[in-house]
Structure 1
Amino acid sequence: MKRLGLLRHAKSEEHQPAGYDFDRGINAKGRRAAEAMGRYIGTKVAPFDRILASPAVRVQETLNIALDAMGKAAPVDRVEDRRLYLATADSILDVLTDLAGDEDSILLVAHNPGLEDAVLDHVPDDGSSPLRDTVAVKFPTGAFAVLEFDIDDWSEIDGAKARLVDLKRPRDLDPTLGPEMAN
C-alpha cells in the first residue's frame, strides 16, 4: 500500500502587477493556516517518508512553517521539483513516478487545480466518500488530504483507485481561517 498526502499552499499574497506569480509569498492568514495544518499533520497523521514540493515561494513558505509546527514528526527527505509548479494531475503523477522511489508515504505540496484533480481522478465518484464530495466543492488554500492506494510501486499509480482517508481544511482547525478565497 502507498499513502499520498496532498497539501495545498496556504493563502497567498495578492497578485502584484509587476511581480511574477512564482514569487508570491503567503499572507498573515496563510501563515496561521500553515502552522495549524502542520500541527495537525504532526500530531494526527502518521509520518511521511519523503516530501515532494513545488519550488514556488508560497509553497516553500507554507512547507517551512508546517514543518516547524510538525516538530519531530516532520519528514527529513525533501525534494523540490519545478514540474510541480501549477502542475496538472497528470504532471503530479509523473513526478511521483519519477521521484517517490521506494518510499511508502509521500507528502506532496503544490497548487490547484492539480491537487484537487488528483483527488477527484483517483477517488471513485460512487457516493461512498463524503470527503470526496467536499473536495469536489472546493479544495481551498491550505487544505490537506490523504489518499491510500492498494499498489506496491508508485509506477502503478496511473489509473489506480484510492481511498480518501483524511481531509482537513484550515477552517476545520480554526474557524477564523475560513472561508477561503480562490488564491
Structure 2
Amino acid sequence: MRQLILLRHAHAESPAPGQADADRALSAEGQAAAEAVGRWLLEQGLSPDCVLCSPARRTRQTLEAVLGVIGYVDQRLEPDIYEATPGALIALADRHCDTGRLMIVGHNPGLEQLVALMESGQSGDYRGMPPAGVAVLTLPAGAAIEPGVARLAQFWWP
C-alpha cells in the first residue's frame, strides 16, 4: 500500500489592495493550525517521504510550519498545483508513483474534488476541505492513480 496525503493550506490573510492572490500570507490562526497539522502527522506516524507544494506564499508557509514540527522532508515547489484541477493533481501525483507516502500541499477546490474523485470516482461528491484540512488516501501499491482507486483512511483538521 502507498499513501497520498493532501493538505490544504492553513487560513490566510485577506489580500491587501492590489496584492496578488499568490502573495497572501498565513494569518496567526493559520500559523497555529499548520503547526497543529505537523503535530497530528507526527502523532499518527504519517511523516511523508516527499512533499509537493504550490508556490503560493500561504502554502509554502503552511509547509514550513509543518516541517518545523516533523523535521526535514524532501520537498519540491510545483507551480502546477496552484489553481490545479483534480486531473492535473492526479497527473502530478502519478509522476511520483514510486514514493511510498507523498504529500501535496495545495488549494481548493482542486484538493477537495481530488479526494472525492479518488475515493468515489465522482469529483462532485466532495464535502469540503477546511483550511489546514488533511486527507489521507490509501492506494494499492503499484496502482495507477485514477478515479475510485483509493480509500479515504483519515480526514482531520485543527
TM-score (norm 1): 0.79
Instruction: Give the Å deviation of 1:70.
Output: 1.7
In the other structure, the counterpart of 2:94 is 97
Instruction: Give the Å deviation of 1:151.
Output: 4.1
Q: Is 1:43–1:70's contact at 8 Å kept on the other side of the alignment?
A: no
In the other structure, the counterpart of 2:84 is 87
Matched residues in 2 for 1:159 and 1:165: separation?
A: 16
In the other structure, the counterpart of 2:140 is 150
Secondary structure of residue in 1 paired with 2:136: strand
Q: Which amino acid letter does the alignment assign opposite residue 50 of structure 1?
A: C
The reply to whether residue 169 of structure 1 matches residue 141 of structure 2 is no
Q: Is 1:151–1:157's contact at 8 Å kept on the other side of the alignment?
A: no
TM-score (norm 2): 0.91
Show structure 1 runs of 5+ residues with no match.
Answer: 126-134, 171-183
Q: Deviations over 1:37-67 (max 9, x none)?
A: 1111112133221111101100000000111
| Structure 1 residue corresponding to 2:147, chosen from 155, 159, 162 | 159
**Larger helix fraction of residues:** 1
How large is the Cα RMSD of the aligned pairs?
1.7
The reply to whether residue 53 of structure 1 matches residue 50 of structure 2 is no
The percent identity for this pair of structures is 34
Matched residues in 1 for 2:57 and 2:47: separation?
A: 24
Q: Deviations over 1:17-38 (max 9, x none)?
A: 2110011110010001001111
Q: Which amino acid letter does the alignment assign opposite residue 94 of structure 2?
A: T
Show structure 2 runs of 5+ residues with no match.
Answer: none
